[in-house]
Amino acid sequence: MKLNVNNPVLFKELKLRFRSPKSFVGMLFYLLAMCLFVFGFIFTTMSLTGVSYFRPSESMLLFSFLAFIQLGLVLFITPGLTAGAISSEREKQTLPILLTTSQSSFQIITGKLLSSISFLLLLIVSGLPVYSLVFLFGGISPMDFVRIFLFLFVTLLAIGSLGILFSTLIRRTIVSMIATYGTMLFLSVVTGFLFIIVMQLTRFNFNGVGLPPPSIAGHILASINPAVLFASLLSQGAAESLAEMTQVKWPIWIGYLIFYLSITVLSLWMAVKKLRVNMKRSK
């Protein structure tokens, strides 16, 4: 697994992706939608409260809405960008040509991954001026901003790596996409549902006085759910309520980083190992 900064696969994919007018048209409509949402939220809030200024507490609410919009963008667009990276090459019968070049499997996998998520990263970065409008009204610290974008990037990288892995293991793009979206829904929806069930069972089984016993399972489920993590990052009250429910003082963001960075490393490692193995089997 040789690391080489000069990655022709990455450069070729970036040129093909960003030369298309569709990419910039999509970015234009995305930014227009974000601007309409921000200004609509500001004017609606001011008209409902009957004041001519925007309060810092409402600025935090607007920032939370924008953060969850970006999270939804990452969760639902990343699988579509990465799940067909390798399987589409196999369907077009161009994968054997790619494998006969001097590029290593690591270069091919990382080049496909980075080129696939580059457009989504560009969308997130292009929304920074819209986020800057929130800072004009106060209530948001730069560290809140940095934390949100750090965990967005970690989530994007992990889901993108899963998409690349399924695209390498599965021959059909549609099946690979279904598997990636299914994994994403499990991590973002099913874990939240299981967390609620575990918390309810813990309360049901606890009939004594005082504090309930620690719920390790509930804490783990909360630690791998992106929505729960973002709620705890955006609201100190939500983080305290979560710690009170699970009775575990270990911050969930540490478990989130460990889990999703492990998924990224393992997915890329398996994709690199299985890329040429699948090619040999298909002969």
- Each residue of 134-164: pLDDT tens digit? 777 666 777 888 888 899 999 999 999 999 9
- Exposure letters 242-275 (e unless 16+ CB within 10 A, then b): bbebbebeeebbebbbebbeebbeebbebbbebb
Average pLDDT over residues 158-177: 91
| Exposure class string for 83-102: b at 16+ Cβ within 10 A, else e | bbbbbbbbeeeebeebeeee
The Cα-based distances of 64 to 58, 70, 100, 134, 179 in angstroms read 10, 10, 48, 10, 29
| pLDDT, position 55 | 67
Residue type, 200: Q
Query: Strand, coil or helix: what is 100?
Result: coil
pLDDT at 139: 66
Residue 2 clears pLDDT 50, i.e. is over it: no
Separation of first and last alpha carbons in the chain:
24
* Amino acid of residue 54: F
DSSP string, 90-154: HHTT-HHHHHTSS--HHHHHHHHHHHHHHHHHHHHHHTHHHHHHHHTT----HHHHHHHHHHHHH
Top-confidence range, 49-58, 123-132, 272-281? 123-132
Q: Are 37 and 80 in contact, with CB atoms under 8 Å apart?
A: no
Can you give the pLDDT at residue 138? Answer: 66
**Higher pLDDT among residues 150 and 51, named by residue:** 150
What DSSP string runs through 175-189?
HHHHHHHHHHHIIII
Which residue ranges make up each domain of the chain?
8-205+212-281
Residue 189 has which token pair? 């929806």
What are residue 54's phi and psi, to 5 degrees?
Answer: -105, 120
CB 165 within 8 A of CB 267: yes
Q: What is the structure's pLDDT at 104?
A: 82
161's tokens? 């790596």
- pLDDT, tens digit (0-9, with 9 covering 90-100), for 69-127: 888 888 888 888 888 888 888 888 888 777 887 778 888 888 888 888 888 888 888 88
Over the chain, what is the mean pLDDT? 82
Q: What is the mean pLDDT of residues 181-196?
A: 92
Pairwise CA distance, residues 231 & 208, whole Å: 30
pTM comes to: 0.84
Query: What is the CB neighbour count within 10 angstroms for residue 130?
Result: 16
Query: In the structure, what pLDDT confidence band is assigned to residue 208 with cuts at 50, 70 and 90?
Result: low
